[in-house]
């Protein structure tokens, strides 16, 4: 299992916002942020859910189906 910090690096490399990932795994962007900051931790269930959601969001972005305007606090 990866750490929150590692997850954040991967998410940013894929140019996905907290909101992009949160939308696909049906959790709040705040939860994703807390996991990235080490304030909350992945559970077995949400780890798989969040990693899958990040991959789906990335695929959608590559196909031009996600075009969210980003604010620096969302990264």
Q: pLDDT tens across 15-74, in order?
A: 899 998 888 888 899 999 999 999 999 888 888 888 888 888 888 888 887 655 343 344
Query: What counts of helices (H) and strands (E) characterise the chain?
Result: 4, 0
Structural domain boundaries in the chain? 4-74
Give the pLDDT of residue 68. Answer: 53
Those residues with Cβ within 8 angstroms of residue 75's Cβ, 6 or more apart along the chain or in another chain: 12, 17, 18
CATH class of 4-74: mainly alpha
The answer to pTM > 0.85 is no
> How sure is the predictor about 4, in pLDDT bands with cuts at 50, 70 and 90?
very high
Q: What confidence score (pLDDT) does residue 29 get?
A: 94
């Amino acid at each position: 299992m990866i750490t929150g910090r590692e997850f954040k690096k991967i998410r940013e490399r894929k140019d996905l916002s907290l909101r992009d990932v949160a939308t696909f795994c049906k959790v709040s962007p705040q939860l994703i942020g807390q996991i990235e900051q080490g304030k909350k931790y992945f559970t077995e269930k949400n780890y798989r859910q969040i990693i899958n959601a990040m991959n789906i969001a990335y695929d959608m972005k590559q196909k031009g189906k996600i075009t969210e305007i980003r604010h620096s606090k969302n990264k």
